A and B are shown apart, each in its own frame.
Chain A
Amino acid sequence: MTKRYLLGNEAIAHAAMEASADFASGYPGTPSSDVIDILRVQEERPLYVEWSVNEKVAFENALAAAWCGLRSLVTMKHVGMNVAADPLMTSAYTGVNGGFVIMCADDPYAHSSQNEQDTRCYARFSHLPCLDPATVQEAHDMVIDAFALSEELGLPVIFRPTTRICHSRSDVSIGEPGTGTRKGEFPRDPRRFVLIPGHARPLHKALNEKLPRVTRVIAGRNYNRFEKRGRDAVVAGGIGVTYVEEILPEAVSFGRIGAYPVDWEALGAFVSGHRRILVIEEGEPVLEELVRQVAAGIPVSGKIDGTVPSEGELSLASVRAILAAQGYIPKPSGAPPVPVPDVPMRPPIMCAGCMHRPTFYAMKKVWRDAVYPSDIGCYTLGLQLGVVDTTICMGSAPSLASGIHHAGDPREVVATIGDSTFLHSGIPGLLNAVYNGAEMTLVILDNRTTAMTGHQPNPVSGMTAAGEVKAPVSLEAICRACGVSFAETVSPYDLASTIEVMKAAKAQKGVKVVIAKQPCVITARRAGVRRGAYAVERDACTVCGACIRFGCPAIGMVEERAAINELCSGCGVCAQICPSGAIGPEARERKEGQA
């Protein structure tokens, strides 16, 4: 055992190595992405690592490996589970041979997500065990145990850390990575792996018959602990446990829940005899409903009666306020500290030199009054530029676009989607739109990487997760195979050409695709691409505001004139939009005759 200072996701990745995992796949999604990224670059344990094209594909790959006897890990964010839900539900019927851990990271408060769904509901839905860590150390220890638990029960195990676990750091005791690797072999067994109705029915029965044992085994794991200390009780789950532990008086009983299913008898025995019970948890009132079922008339407060907020994440501050309001701890003296009003917001913004900005700019020039369905990625920040009308789930832009067209909206429909999101689940929507005769334009924002989540490679990047060089897939070829006849590629740094191609698309009937292709400015810089910076010629600036409205963080105002700061990456687009020609390469570059 050694102590290290680790990010939650580092601890989780290391635990998978300690547990001798042989196979790991996933699709990037904050806050889960670091785990696969760490596993693919580490040199402590050889294992198969894959960034898959979506969560369903990642899940099925890892499930197959677990069927074949390997210890296998799949990672995703909470909404990724919606994509993987189809194989999830039936994997509970087939079970697994090697340990199979499904890491599904929840994001209470939706720090970087479109919703706040609670993966514990999927655990109940699928009848699979779910481990819900309170600390980084517990997350580490749980992952190791999750593989063992999965093998002991013959079932996939869901591991559900939240943002505040994945992206917290802590001193963590870790062990040595496992040595020795396994080779998988598919155990042919049609009654188990071919889910025709005649096989599914007995498998469903077998799963249900397994459940009492699942509960017993979990109860024996010490993740759920109960201490009777007084007449009032608090029951907490997940990271809520730590907030409660920090401030709960000695004389209040405390139940901490870290694993599901919870043993009703143990929970009932703990709850009985108390005057009242308060349940503290993030997400859905999963734990609270269990407590209410065994409370036998004892008053229970939590989310259902509005004592605990039903949205957002918990914090020490919010749990302290709840406990004080309920009289578990003394009310604080004095007013709570409030933020200084009117401090200017600092929302995340597309980088200086980001290829999305000129693409959006060109779209606005060509389609002034269109409907703009969009998707999930850095380009969702195009909201600030007025060119993102929808963002609901991965891959939705092409199908929302065709739906809006078929609904009869008279405006043109111009959708945007990133390369990784298009490959994830945008292709079926495009194929469907073409086949069903939609009128729309799809702009694929192709920056050659999965940028938002930390630049994970995807099939257009030309490299696998393991670093193997591959021929990148052709987005144009995919679009043409879907039946698109107008599929043109442009560089958005060349504004005039981009506008020209978009105009040509606008003039055509049917489903048109414009692929705006330019490597992400961050990956380009890391790869050594250097472009000279641009500058504003002060005397030529008429303060018309065109460059300011462009919204590049490298452009601001200095002494009443536009000015370019050190963030400039030299994309040169602002020089193309300045109507007075006041922007050009910095003098140094000009002398060298380089743009």
Chain B
Amino acid sequence: MTGSFDLLIVGVGGQGVILAASVIGEACLIEGREVKAAETHGMAQRGGSVECHVRIDGRYGPLIPPGGADLLVAFELIEALRYRHFLKPGGTLVANRLVQVPTSVYMQKLEVPTEEKILAGLADLGPCVLDADRKAVEAGSPLTQNMVMVGAGSLRLPLGAESLGEAIRRSVPKKTIDMNLRAFQLGREAAGGCR
């Protein structure tokens, strides 16, 4: 309706979701485009569920409505399940093949969700699933998994790889630029194999 490309990035506190979203916003700025984004802060940072809304070419409010996202990038599979209703019909899911079981599941003796079960619940979306942690280690540090996911999502974003690369250079600590760019590239290649 408004011409924005709406991206939702979700994960678990500590995975670097906010930095990933920030890189995409910075890339919009590099391309001279408007962008509006919303972040989870405060309580949710303590290992809680984290969601970042990014509206590329967004001119209005920062929040994406359920059923409105063009792309969902999930850093963890339970979170993919939690937020999948934000995707619009025909929207794309790019997900990290990781299940991080909430501590409360063990404490309350709930059924422990398995990768197979979760993937079955996402299968209708035809998701692009990759092992971001392995790619991150390959890039030089498990901490770069967020840039692997940015790379994996980038093929579906209306943003140039060069702008995203420049955005990474501007956003990460100087010493880690090369490693993060490598992670971005590995994620991009991994997702290139999807579909």
The 8 Å CB contact of B106, one of A247, A337, A345, A548, is A548
Complex-state Cα separation, A489 to B35, whole angstroms: 51
User: For residue B84, which residues in chain A have a CB less than 8 angstroms away from its CB?
Assistant: 340
Nearest to B29 among chain A residues (CB) is A5
Q: Are B61 and A5 touching (Cβ within 8 A)?
A: no
The bracket for how many chain A residues form the interface is 35 or more
**Cβ of A173 to closest chain B Cβ, rounded Å:** 11
Q: Are A243 and B49 touching (Cβ within 8 A)?
A: no
| A167 beta carbon closer than 8 Å to chain B | yes
Complex-state Cα separation, A243 to B55, whole angstroms: 13
Q: Are B36 and A168 touching (Cβ within 8 A)?
A: yes
Nearest to B58 among chain A residues (CB) is A170
Complex-state Cα separation, A10 to B39, whole angstroms: 14
Q: Are B81 and A247 touching (Cβ within 8 A)?
A: no
Complex-state Cα separation, A5 to B23, whole angstroms: 10
User: For residue B63, which residues in chain A have a CB less than 8 angstroms away from its CB?
Assistant: 164, 243, 315-317
| A552 beta carbon closer than 8 Å to chain B | yes
| A351 beta carbon closer than 8 Å to chain B | yes
**Cβ of A378 to closest chain B Cβ, rounded Å:** 7
User: For residue A348, which residues in chain B have a CB less than 8 angstroms away from its CB?
Assistant: 13, 43-48
Q: Are B103 and A349 touching (Cβ within 8 A)?
A: yes
The residues of A with any CB-CB pair to B shorter than 8 Å are 3-5, 7, 30-31, 111-112, 135-136, 164, 167-171, 239, 242-243, 245-247, 315-317, 320, 336-340, 343-351, 378, 381, 384, 452-453, 548-549, 551-553, 555-557
| B160 beta carbon closer than 8 Å to chain A | no
Assuming the contacts A351-B46, A557-B106, asked whether A170 and B85 have C-beta atoms less than 8 A apart, the reply is no
- Kindly identify, within residues 27 to 46 of chain B, every residue whose CB is under 8 Å from any CB belonging to chain A: 28-29, 33-46
Q: Are B107 and A548 touching (Cβ within 8 A)?
A: yes
Pick 19 A–B contacts, CB within 8 A, sort by A. A111-B40, A164-B61, A168-B37, A169-B22, A169-B25, A171-B25, A171-B35, A246-B60, A316-B60, A316-B63, A316-B64, A317-B63, A344-B104, A345-B104, A348-B43, A350-B46, A351-B47, A452-B42, A452-B43
Nearest to B110 among chain A residues (CB) is A344
- Kindly identify, within residues 57 to 94 of chain B, every residue whose CB is under 8 Å from any CB belonging to chain A: 59-68, 78-79, 81-82, 84-86
Q: Are B61 and A242 touching (Cβ within 8 A)?
A: yes
Complex-state Cα separation, A384 to B24, whole angstroms: 36
Q: Are A168 and B39 touching (Cβ within 8 A)?
A: yes
| B112 beta carbon closer than 8 Å to chain A | yes
Q: Are A4 and B103 touching (Cβ within 8 A)?
A: no
**Cβ of A340 to closest chain B Cβ, rounded Å:** 5
Complex-state Cα separation, A5 to B171, whole angstroms: 11
Q: Are B101 and A556 touching (Cβ within 8 A)?
A: yes
